Structure 1
Amino acid sequence: MKNYLYKEIDNAPLIIFRIFFGFLLACETWGAILTGWVKANFIDVQFTYSHIGMDWLQPLPGYGMYFYFAVMGIMGIMVMLGYKYRWSMGLFTIMWSGVYFMQKTSYNNHYYLLVLICLVMFLLPANRYAAIDAKQNPSIKKLTMPAWCSLVMVAQVAIVYFYATVAKFYPDWLDGTFTRNLLNRSTSGAFHDFAMQEWFYLFIAYAGIAFDMLIIPLLLYKRTRTIALVASLIFHLFNSITLEIGIFPFFALTFVVFFYPPERMRRLFFKNKPQVTDYGTTTEKRSTLLYFFIPYIIIQLLLPIRHHFIKGDVLWTEEGHRLSWRMMLRSRGGYTYFKVVNKANNQIIPYHMRDKATPKQIASMRTKPDMIWQTAQRIKKEFAATGLNVAVYADTRVSINGAPLKKLIDEDTDLAAAEWDYFFHNDWIILYDDEGKRID
């Protein structure tokens, strides 16, 4: 295994991935401006729901976020061209991480994956060929890379698909409830009538499980690799058309280059690239593998299972949901009303969220415990600035996948005084048993 990890292989897969990746980064960031995503999430808001502990991370004032995303697009093109690669890839990683941690209103697992791959690519030798850096500085030019560079990418995408598979084994997925609801919202016209047939939405549900479960083994096996590629094209293009999830379908497809023999990628994409006759092994970047990537992979294996050590069903509590590849898995509906009480005289103070947050922010916040708690903390600070010490209570009812509404937050808990537990269950989130009875 040690000899295999350090064996030199043609670096064509990494080079072509860098080119695709940089182009998609530019499409993602410039597209976010053109489609109004930046405006809706960073310009037309008074504040953003940052990840807890990062409330200090707020958008640039005025139209600053347009400039921010424009710069990221430029960094993406520089990555694609391999120009000042470490600097451009590093800056994009920091800036995109800022976008990710700055807002949860449009939270998406794909954005998290983008953070991870940016970090991985920053540490890989992706500017050694077909790069401006290599032309300007021939001493860094190289035709090979250690085999572990490809294996890291394969391991990362395998982890994503594995946990995406495991997460689907719950009743509302297995009986087609979620896929029926999803197709009901995302389709129209004659196709909507077709999609609402039981056999079709059940087919989509089980095809989703089969794809996530089998795609990596099929890509790893030579005889089924091309079949898996065709299946990937159909699966991701279908998702792109019906779900409108930006670059992710194309981003996911780019990982395929790491599953094919490097020599084949060289012949396909770099016909003029010299063929290496004696690969051998390398000692280059061994410390990067040992001290960063092995711990990194271990952390990636552990993060998605942390919700099993937190009391309650993650589908209901959301505790441990993020960073666990629970993708396109459930829909949450419901409402939240806040009651603000002046502690000095127990007087109820009217408070209207629609004056403070956009409809999109309210729709995202009203069913998620962490965002409800953050809202209570914001309300507390808002009134403290006027000299009032207030308690904040939440009346919250939530439905999962169209099920009957149930109370999510303990109405008697002052959320302004409550603490947020990062690692364990927050007792003010109400739990229910399998029969739907409240657990006290």
Structure 2
Amino acid sequence: MNNRLFKEIDNAPLILFRIFFGFLLACETYGAIATGWVKSNFIDPEFTFSHIGMDWLQPLPGNGMYFYFLVMGTLGILVMLGYKYRFTLGLYTIMWAGVYFMQKTSYNNHYYLLLLVCLIMVFLPANRYASIDAKQNPTLKKLTMPAWCSVVMIAQVAIVYFYATVAKFYPDWLDGTFTKNLLAMHSGNGWFHEIASQKWFYMFIAYAGIAFDLLIVPFLLYKRTRTIALIASIVFHLFNSITLQIGIFPFFALSFVVFFYPPERIRQVFFKKKPVVTHYETTTEKRSILLYFFIPYFIIQLFLPIRHHFIKGDVLWTEEGHRLSWRMMLRSRNGYTYFKVINKANNEPLPYRPLDYMTRKQLGSMRTKPDMLWQTAQRIKKHFKADGFDVAVYVTSKAGINGAPMKTLIDEKADLAAADWDYFFHNDWIVLYDADGNRLE
């Protein structure tokens, strides 16, 4: 195993991935401006719902975030061209981390995957060929890389698909409830809506999703099924792209395919002028990076998606342990929330209207997410403290999962302004229910 990991292989897959990856980085960030995503998430809001503990991370004032994203898009092009690769990708990684941790209103798993792959790619020698770096510095040019460079990319995508499979084994997915609701939301009113509303179709989509996530990596690894897996992957991701309109993710996911094919095959198809390597050696290049960065990294990646099993309650309901866990396109939440603000000095209510301080998009996301409700209560507390009031904040919140009848989400007697957020265990002010739907006290 040691020899196989450190054996040199043609670096064509990594070089090709860098070029396409840089292009996607530019598309993601320029596209965010063009589609209005930057405006709705960073320009219009008075504040953003940052990840808890990073409330200090807020958008640049005025139109600053437009310039922020323009810089990132330019960095993506430079990554594609291989110009000052580690600096440009490193800076993009830091800036994208800022975007990711700065807002949860439009949370998407592919934003997280993008951040992880940026981090991985910073450590890989992806600028050794077909790059401005290699042209300006010929000593940098190299035709090979250690085999583990491909292994870490395969390992990352395997983790994503494995946990995406496991997460689907719950009643609302297995009986087609979620896929039925999802297709109804995205299928419009034409002929496709008629097909999508048929039970056989949404049940097929549900189980095809499980089968694809479970089998795609093994089938790509096995030579005899690789072409079938590639065709299935193209069909699957194009279907998702057209029906769900989820940005670059389908094409991003497809780009990992290059690491499953023999490197020489990638060279023959995409780099016809690239010299053929006649002798491959075993190298210890970057061995310390594999041992001291990637092994701990993958241990963390294996643990994070299962942490919700160690937290009391159903993650579908509490959301505790939901993020960073590859629980993708898995549930919908609906509900409503009211805040009751009480002046502790005289026990009198104080008026507070959330929509005066946040956008409708933020309100729609916040009203059924316990962590965002808690953050809102903390903001309310600070808001009134600035006016000299010490307040308690009580929340009346009802929520339903996948169209199910709504139930109480937050303990009405809990003062969320005084509550702490527990990162690692259950927050007791989130109401729990038994298997029969009875509230647990």
TM bucket (normalised to shorter chain) is over 0.9
| Local SS of the residue matching 1:22 | helix
Q: Counterparts of 2:161 and 2:191 in 1: how far apart (Å)?
A: 32
Q: Partner of 1:89: helix, strand, or coil?
A: helix
- Show CA shifts across 1:297-355 (max 9, x none): 11100100000000000010000000000000000000111000000001101110111
Secondary structure, counterpart of 1:23 in structure 2: helix
Where in structure 2 are there 5+ consecutive unaligned residues? Answer: none
What's the offset of the Cα at 1:436?
0.1
Task: Compute the displacement of 1:190 (Å).
Answer: 1.7
Query: Following the alignment from structure 2 to structure 1, what is the Cα–Cα distance between the partners of residues 15 and 386?
Result: 54
Instruction: Please state how far the C-alpha of 1:391 moved relative to its aligned partner.
Output: 0.4
| CA deviation after TM superposition for structure 1 residue 395, in Å | 0.3
Q: Distance in 2 between matches of 1:350 and 1:378?
A: 14
Q: Letter of the aligned partner of 1:388 in structure 2? A: F
Q: CA deviation at 1:283?
A: 1.2
In the alignment, residue 377 of structure 2 is paired with which amino acid? A
Paired with 1:190 and 1:211, the residues of 2 have a C-alpha distance of 25
Which runs of structure 2 are paired with 1:39-438 in the superposition (5 Å)?
39-188=39-188, 189-438=190-439
Aligned-partner Cα distance in 1 for 2:282–2:272: 24
Report the Cα distance in structure 2 between the residues aligned to 1:300 and 1:101, rounded to whole angstroms.
18
How many angstroms apart in 1 are the aligned matches of 2:307 and 2:413? 28
Separation in 1, partners of 2:120, 2:236: 26
1:193 to partner: Cα distance: 1.4
CA RMSD of aligned residues (A): 0.4
Deviations 1:177-205 (A, max 9, x none): 00000011101112111100000000000
AA aligned to 1:119 is L
Q: Distance in 2 between matches of 1:346 and 1:267?
A: 76
**Where does structure 1 differ by over 4 angstroms across 4 or more consecutive aligned residues?**
none
Shift of 1:69: 0.1
Superposition deviation, residue 405 in structure 1: 0.3
Distance of 1:82 and 1:397 partners within structure 2:
51
2: distance between equivalents of 1:357 and 1:190? 38
What SS does the aligned partner of 2:336 have?
strand
Q: Which TM-score applies when normalising by structure 2?
A: 0.99
The Cα of 1:129 is off from its aligned counterpart by 0.2
Equivalent position amino acid for 2:178 in 1: F
Shift of 1:363: 0.5
**In 2, Cα distance between equivalents of 1:324 and 1:249:** 18
- Aligned counterparts of 2:303 and 2:2: Cα–Cα separation in 1: 24
Pairwise CA distance, 1:360: 0.4
**Bigger mean CA offset, 189-198 vs 92-101:** 189-198
- Please give the secondary structure, in 2, of the residue aligned with 1:306: helix
**Whole-angstrom distance in 2 between the partners of 1:294 and 1:277:** 31
Unaligned runs of 5+ in 1: none
What is the one-letter code of the residue matched to 2:331? R
Aligned mates of 1:315, 1:285 — CA distance in 2:
41
Letter paired with 2:55: D
Q: Tell me, yes or no, if structure 1 residue 19 matches structure 2 residue 19.
A: yes
1:84 and 1:155 mapped to 2: Cα distance? 27
Tell me the TM-score normalized by structure 1.
1.00
Structure 2 counterpart of 1:171, which letter?
P
The whole-number CA distance in structure 2 between the counterparts of 1:108 and 1:34 is 18
Secondary structure at 1:234 match in 2: helix
* Aligned mates of 2:132, 2:191 — CA distance in 1: 50
Deviations 1:150-195 (A, max 9, x none): 0000000000000000000000000000000001110111211110
Query: Matched residues in 2 for 1:118 and 1:87: separation?
Result: 12
Residue identity matched to 1:339: K
- SS of the residue aligned with 2:57? coil
- CA–CA distance in structure 1, aligned partners of residues 434 and 333 of structure 2: 19
Q: Across the two proteins, how many residue pairs are aligned to each other?
A: 440
Match of 1:8 in 2: 8
The code of the aligned residue for 2:397 comes to: T
Alignment of 1:27-46 (within 5 A): 27-46=27-46
- What amino acid is aligned across from residue 421 of structure 1 in structure 2? D
Task: For residues 253-278 of structure 1, give each alpha carbon's deviation from its aligned partner in whole angstroms, at most 9, with x where no partner exists.
Answer: 00000000000001011000001111
1:116 shift after superposition:
0.1
Q: C-alpha deviations, 1:63-120, integer Å up to 9, x for none?
A: 0000000000000000000001011000000000000000000000100000000000
- 2: CA distance between counterparts of 1:393 and 1:416? 8
Question: Secondary structure at the residue paired with 2:27?
Answer: helix
Secondary structure (helix, strand or coil) at the match of 2:95 reads helix
Identity of aligned residues (%): 78
Q: Which amino acid aligns with 2:230?
A: L
Deviation at 1:437, TM superposition (A): 0.3
